[in-house]
């Protein structure tokens, strides 16, 4: 019984719906905004581990001070 798939939470289902409708990878904040609810990183971690969502690391460099910020974007796995 331990290997049976768990039912997705409401937030995880909402994240999948938003990512399915998107034509580009989205940040956690963008997913939350489009879903109209607070999506937590844990909701996406479970989807990444299940192979339903892909997480990519991106880097932003501030043009003023050259500070580097690492963030993740998410998309549906093909």
pLDDT tens, position by position, 35-66: 999 999 999 998 999 899 999 999 999 999 99
* 4-22 burial: b if 16+ Cβ within 10 Å, else e: eeeebeebbebbbebbeee
CATH assignment of the domain containing 46: 1.10.10.10
pLDDT of residue 6: 72
The verdict on residue 3 lying in a domain is no
- Domain interval for residue 38: 10-76
Instruction: Write out the DSSP string of 18-69.
Output: HHHH-SS-B-HHHHHHHHTS---HHHHHHHHHTTSEEEEEEEEE-TTT--EE
The verdict on residue 5 lying in a domain is no
The verdict on residue 2 lying in a domain is no
Task: Count up the domains in the chain and report the number.
Answer: 1
């Amino acid at each position: 019984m331990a290997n049976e798939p768990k039912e997705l939470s409401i937030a995880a289902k909402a994240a999948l719906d938003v990512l399915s409708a998107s034509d580009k990878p989205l940040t956690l904040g963008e997913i939350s905004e489009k879903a109209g609810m607070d999506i937590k990183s844990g909701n996406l971690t479970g989807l990444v581990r299940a192979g339903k969502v892909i997480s990519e690391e991106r880097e932003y460099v501030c043009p003023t001070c050259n500070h580097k910020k690492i963030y993740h974007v998410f998309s549906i796995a093909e």
